[in-house]
Structure 1
Amino acid sequence: MLRKLLSLYENSILLPKQPDHSYEQFFIFFDESQNEWIGIPKKEISEKELNLLKKLYELVDLQTSSLKTGSQSWYEFLYLKGPIPPSNTEAYFRMIQFHIKGDGINQNEIESALKGFFTDEVIIIWENVNRGVIIEEKKLISLSEKEFITLSETIESDFFIKISFYIGKIHLLSHDLPTYFYQEKEYFNFGKKNLGNTFNFAFERVFPAYLTYHLQDELKHKVKQELNEVFLDDQEMFSTIKVFLENNLNASMTAKKLYIHRNTLQYRIDKFVEKTGIQLKDFYGAFTVFLACLLFEQEQKK
């Protein structure tokens, strides 16, 4: 698609890799699917065209994307098939990807705020003006998933922006690390698109929905055949059962999140069990119903 833009904007330039210096007279756009960059002269783009291109591609902010030595080696390793960054033997890392929703982002201030939550030094790479990755060595890991929720809330209140995280798994520093990085990136993109207003993602949070989304149509039909009618007849029951399962069958927490009395919650659960014959406190029953909930939810979004 970027190559087609060359015919529309005669003075544009196609770049095989992210430019390492600023092009003051150009807007730089990145096509992730093709791993290509294009520079289009600012004077040739109207405001309406600029807004449209920003919807289709990532606008790269070269002014703020200059990388320090350590960040540069990691950027080349993860994104440009560069050599493994220098580190100790048998070093392990996890990558925490983040995405910011909002305008007027000051990357320096955001980066400073992010680093302030970690007890030791971490490397932060900005992929574009809204997205980046925090690289954390195993011995330095300090934040739990709950602490990332606090971090999200703090960033939102201080900067009036929404920030979401994907907390990656711990991996050995090897040539395979970029592969894991892009797989986690795929999960992150899926989670942001399909899991509602959640702002903190991890493999175990995303994968059940990812799995159901990619099930064969025949299997989807068999699962929906068992429970879809119950959920269609009573959407309130669907919401109740899904929240109950997501909260580890904790009645108090579920009732609090749904703003209902525990007796009301129990009535709805008993009604569901009576209609389906499936016991939610049985592992296999809970797993099957949760799978059906995810499929039903995906169907409703179509």
Structure 2
Amino acid sequence: MLRKLLPLFKNSFLSTAQPDQSSERFFIFFDEDNNEWLGIPKSEISESELNLLIALYPLSKFSIVNHTPETKVWHDFLLSDGQPPVYQSNSNFRFLQFHLQDRFVEDHEEIESAFKGFFSEDIYIVWENENSGIVIEEMKQISLSEKEMIAMSETVESDFYVKIHFYIGKKYPFSEQLRFHFQREREYFAFGKDHINSSNIFTFERVFPAFMAYNLPKELSEKLFLELEDVFQEDPEMFVTIRTFLENNLNASVTAKKLYIHRNTLQYRVDKFTEKTGIGLKDFYGAFTVFLACLLFEQKV
């Protein structure tokens, strides 16, 4: 079947052995029944054609052809249970995971160059697949803040016209445990991309409350959900207001600015919420409980 597609794409090729050509230029499809690979230039296939072919044939895995020896070691260590790289035990590392939301990303070298321009120290960039990768940062001095990470994401998005997500990992001392720390953060990043729409920059503290709410036992989640379900369903505007207020550390000025409302309007809605529920948001326990309920409500609607 793949052989019949060959004339439809001018610069495509067919192979009976897995191609070693870079998949940065080609989409490579595998016909398991006939043990054949078809490579189609990304510039010659439309998105609808691509979606149709993906439904029929699996895409071959991304070829790690551009890895240096150092990044190849990191790739194998983090993703393939390979041996750890050689570093002193007092070295500290941080993993910044990224995902580019665009199937037609081809300028990997240019994207790497854009990333490196934000770091004062050398970094390693490991591509996990065509659209996802890991920035490995050896932390010898103060590293990028979350604010600077936001600036970096905005630069990449404006220069390459792609949506990008980042997960900012924690600092860890060098050891074989780095792999397990990375795998845990990888799980949080995957969850954040799938379940949190309010941000494209993720951290443990930003993801974990939603992760916890998602994984609550059904009986507990239903009990908490029922406590505030009626209030939020009756007044969706109040839900957005309370959620934004809590996300911004109960800062009325910042919340009002983000919602494009007057501070008095914000205060009215907060007071109305407290009157209806009997829960004060300035109390830590009240704020925590309501925020957890907001996360559950968002997942169910």
Identity value in percent: 53
Gaps of 5+ in 1: 1-10, 31-37
Correspondence for 2:10: none
Match among 27, 37, 40 for residue 40 of structure 1: 37
**Counterpart residue number, 2:140:** 139
CA 1:40–1:197 in structure 2 vs 1: closer, same or farther (change >3 Å)?
farther
- Give per-residue Cα distances to partners, 1:56-103, cap 9 Å, x unaligned: 9666443x7421121111111111211110111232211100001122
Over 3 Å counting, the alpha-carbon distance change for 1:227 and 1:180 in structure 2 is same
Alignment RMSD (CA, Å):
2.8
* 1:266-296 deviation digits (Å, cap 9, x = unpaired): 0000000000110100000000000000000
Counterpart CA distance in 1 for 2:154 and 2:72 is 29
- TM-score of the superposed pair, with normalisation by structure 1: 0.83
1:97-136 equivalences in 2 (<5 Å):
97-102=97-102, 103-136=104-137
* Paired positions, count: 277
List runs of 5+ in structure 2 lacking aligned partners: 1-14
Determine helix, strand or coil for the equivalent of 2:97. Answer: strand
**C-alpha displacement at 1:50, in angstroms?**
4.2
- Using a 3 Å threshold, how does the CA distance of structure 1 residues 23 and 241 change in structure 2: closer, same or farther? closer
Per the alignment, in what secondary structure is the counterpart of residue 90 of structure 1?
A: coil
Confirm or deny that 1:189 pairs with 2:186: no
- Give the Cα separation in 2 of the matches to 1:156 and 1:200: 13
Is 1:236 the counterpart of 2:237 in the alignment?
yes
The aligned counterpart of 1:71 is 71
Post-superposition shift, 1:251?
A: 0.2
Superposition TM-score, scaled by structure 2 size: 0.83
Alpha-carbon distance in 1 for matches of 2:142, 2:61:
30
- Please give the residue correspondences for 1:1-302 in structure 2 after superposition, counting only pairs within 5 Å: 21-22=20-21, 28=28, 40-42=37-39, 50-52=50-52, 54=54, 60-62=61-63, 65-102=65-102, 103-300=104-301
On the 8 A contact 1:58/1:128 being kept in 2, the answer is: no
Q: 3-state SS of the aligned residue for 2:169?
A: strand
- The aligned residue for residue 5 of structure 1 is none
- 1 CA distance for matches of 2:36 and 2:294? 45
Check the 8 A contact 1:59/1:128 in 2, yes or no: no
Deviation at 1:172, TM superposition (A): 2.3
Relative to structure 2, which stretch is displaced further, 241-250 or 164-173?
164-173
Equivalent pair of 2:89/2:175 in contact (CA under 8 Å): no
Question: 1:72 and 1:261 mapped to 2: Cα distance?
Answer: 54
Aligned residue type for 2:119: F
